[in-house]
């Protein structure tokens, strides 16, 4: 299996994930043109995509959905709450209902040779989910837009080969920044986003001997920067009560406006 971030951040999110025979996109929060160009850059085309997994209905995750779904008739996988919220969104235009495939958190489904587990997450959206993907003994998870994590999420993320994990903001930058008070409280709340510190703390609970790759993503443009996220997460791992050090694992940071390398497991 492989994963590549085409864009990841508060201004737009789109991730490619797949195997030799199955191609998936997780969210389409950038323009159709950028999606097309991004896939071409990594040797794929939108036409070959077998399914689009939508995490939730916020515009930075669905702004390009209408264009690519209508043009290529790609099936859209989303919870009932997310589907209805997407269909109410004027920004994506008309999307034929028959393209949607309703999914349920906790109920696995299969696309091609990949088994997918939707994971319910805490975020201020209708019915948001993260996704865990498996092919045989290989597994990866895309975990963004979660305001908090709990024992259930920690249990679901054990023994992964790869994790794409939100490190949205630096708490101090957010607190002293220009955002209005209500927005700061939203981001910091249980239905907001994971800070760099919380991202490192979650990682510390799921690291294991065979973890191959960690990718940090969904960084805020206003309240974070790549080196700060990287160093803060590493520090949290080093300070945690576990046998691992940050240097034991390759940790990457996905850019907001550039395509990442292709990560293979």
- Residue 11's pLDDT is 87
Q: Which residue has the tokens 């805020």?
A: 220
Dihedral-angle region of residue 43 (phi above 0 means left; psi in -120 to 50 means alpha; beta otherwise): left
Give the chain's mean pLDDT. 96
Please answer whether residues 24 and 17 qualify as being in contact, where contact means their C-beta atoms are separated by less than 8 angstroms.
yes
d(CA 138, CA 14): 22
Among 4-8, 48-52, 229-233, 253-257, the minimum mean pLDDT is found in 253-257
DSSP state of 211: -
Report the chain's C-alpha Rg in angstroms.
Answer: 17
- The dihedral through the CA atoms of 73, 31, 121, 208 has a sign that is positive
Read off the pLDDT of residues 68-102 as tens digits, 9 standing for 90 and up.
999 999 999 999 999 999 999 988 999 999 999 99
- Is the pLDDT confidence value at 237 over 90? yes
- Residue 22's pLDDT is 98
Domains in the chain (CATH in brackets) are: 2-264 (3.60.15.10)
Dihedral-angle region of residue 12 (phi above 0 means left; psi in -120 to 50 means alpha; beta otherwise): left
- Residue 196's pLDDT is 98
Find the mean pLDDT for residues 3-24.
Answer: 96
- Is the pLDDT confidence value at 10 over 90? no
d(CA 55, CA 130): 6
- Residue 108's pLDDT is 98
CB atoms within 10 A of CB 203: 26
Find the mean pLDDT for residues 190-212.
Answer: 97
- Residue 91's pLDDT is 86
């Amino acid at each position: 299996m492989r994963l590549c971030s085409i864009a990841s951040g508060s201004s737009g999110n789109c991730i490619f994930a797949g195997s030799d025979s199955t191609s998936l996109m997780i969210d389409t929060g950038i323009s159709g043109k950028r999606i097309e160009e991004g896939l071409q850059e990594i040797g794929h085309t939108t036409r070959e995509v077998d399914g689009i997994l939508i995490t939730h209905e916020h515009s930075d995750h669905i702004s390009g959905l209408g264009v690519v779904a209508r043009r290529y008739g790609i099936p859209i996988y989303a919870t009932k709450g997310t589907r209805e919220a997407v269909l109410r969104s004027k920004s994506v235009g008309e999307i034929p209902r028959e393209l949607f495939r309703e999914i349920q958190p906790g109920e696995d489904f299969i696309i091609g040779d990949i088994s997918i587990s939707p994971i319910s997450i805490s975020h201020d959206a209708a019915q948001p989910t993260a996704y865990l993907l498996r092919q045989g003994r290989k597994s990866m998870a895309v975990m963004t837009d979660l305001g908090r994590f709990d024992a259930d999420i920690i249990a679901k993320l054990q023994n992964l080969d790869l994790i794409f994990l939100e490190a949205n903001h630096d708490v101090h930058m957010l607190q002293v920044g220009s955002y209005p008070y209500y927005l700061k409280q939203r981001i910091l709340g249980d239905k907001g986003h994971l800070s760099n510190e919380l991202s490192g703390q979650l990682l510390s609970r799921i690291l294991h001997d065979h973890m191959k790759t960690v990718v940090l993503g969904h960084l805020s443009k206003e309240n974070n920067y790549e080196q700060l996220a990287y160093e803060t997460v590493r520090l949290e791992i080093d300070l945690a009560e576990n046998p691992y050090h940050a240097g034991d694992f390759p940790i990457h940071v996905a850019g907001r406006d550039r395509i990442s390398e292709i990560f293979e497991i």
